[in-house]
Amino acid sequence: MTAKTSDIKIDAVITWVDGGDLEWQKKINKFAAVKIDFDKKKNSVRFNSIGEIEIAIKSIIKFASFVSNIYLVTDNQKPDNFDKLTSIAKEKNINLILVDHKIIFKGYDAHLPCFNSCSIGTMLYRIPNLAEHFIIFNDDTFLMRATKPSDFFINDKPVIRGKWKAFYEDQTLRNLYHNVLSFFGKKKKTGGFKAFQQTSAKLAGVKKYVRRFHTPVSLRRSTIHNFFEKNNILESNIKYRFRNKNQFIISSLAEHLEIKNETYNYKSNAQLTYFRSYKNFCLVKLKLLWFDLNNKKKFMTFQTLEMANENTQHYIVEWLNNKLT
């Protein structure tokens, strides 16, 4: 018998790294083929943060109070205000729990330390006591309006948000465009998030894929567990300490397994405000205003917020904090 959406237990999972941690910086440079000069902003920016993890956790506590546990997956690290955040979560009957990479990589310790989100993501389903239904958040993706379980699962089945797309090799105009570029000696870029998603979808055995939006991802633990029980490819995906073009994204694979089995709910509306550039301050303010006016929007993603100038950062963080108080 299918449980009511309101009755199912749902957990949240966030992967996080403190790129300003000197010990972690030494660790990654021990294994990196090209050493990272963390004193140079252009090199360190993808590892920097301005307190996004605290905002992410607070946003789940406030706007997804139905969540039972928030698992923060880290590499021997702890946010500065973790104890305070734990107390805030407790007030909503939510457990905030640190999970070290050593826990989820147990039995596969040879592949640690790991700096690869594809590899780490593959192991999230091994979090002890993780609920069957769980939501993965990036540390730059926030909830900014009240959500309910049916925003993520309907009748036990995950909600998938994205756009249906043909695989690259089936996109005639795209292939023609790249053939023209090739004629003039320009090489086609390979890899990237879209390519990883397509690799994952093909592994699931579907004929086209859903290009995911930058929103939280709803997954079922059993879908992942059952796949690895039948396919001995877990270790081949986690053996890379750094991202490799041969990998798949477990969350995308799981989504497409649900699509293959017709055990999903599809939403074409991202309900998302997405920031990738902060050069135009007026545009930043306009997008935040539009979020306020559009009640259907629930999610916000701020990629590389560290790249914004101090004035823009202050405006955005103040706007976010006002939503969370």
Contact 215, 270 (CB under 8 A): yes
- pLDDT at residue number 190: 57
Contact 85, 79 (CB under 8 A): yes
Edge to edge, what strands does the sheet with 217-220 contain? 95-100, 69-74, 10-15, 133-138, 217-220
| Average of per-residue pLDDT across 299-303 | 95
Q: What are the helix and strand counts (H, E) for the chain?
A: 13, 12
Q: Is the CA virtual torsion 305, 310, 316, 318 positive or negative? A: positive
Q: What pTM did the predictor assign? A: 0.92
- pLDDT at residue number 1: 47
d(CA 51, CA 49): 6
- pLDDT at residue number 2: 55
Determine the topology of domain 5-324 in CATH.
Answer: Spore Coat Polysaccharide Biosynthesis Protein SpsA; Chain A (3.90.550)
User: Could you tell me the residue ranges of all domains in the chain?
Assistant: 5-324
Band (pLDDT 50/70/90 cuts) for residue 228 is very high
Token pair in block for residue 98: 């640190």
Question: pLDDT by residue (tens digit) across 248-284?
Answer: 999 999 999 999 999 999 999 999 999 999 999 999 9
- pLDDT at residue number 38: 85
- pLDDT at residue number 199: 94
User: Is residue 317 scored above 90 in pLDDT?
Assistant: yes
Token pair in block for residue 88: 């805030």
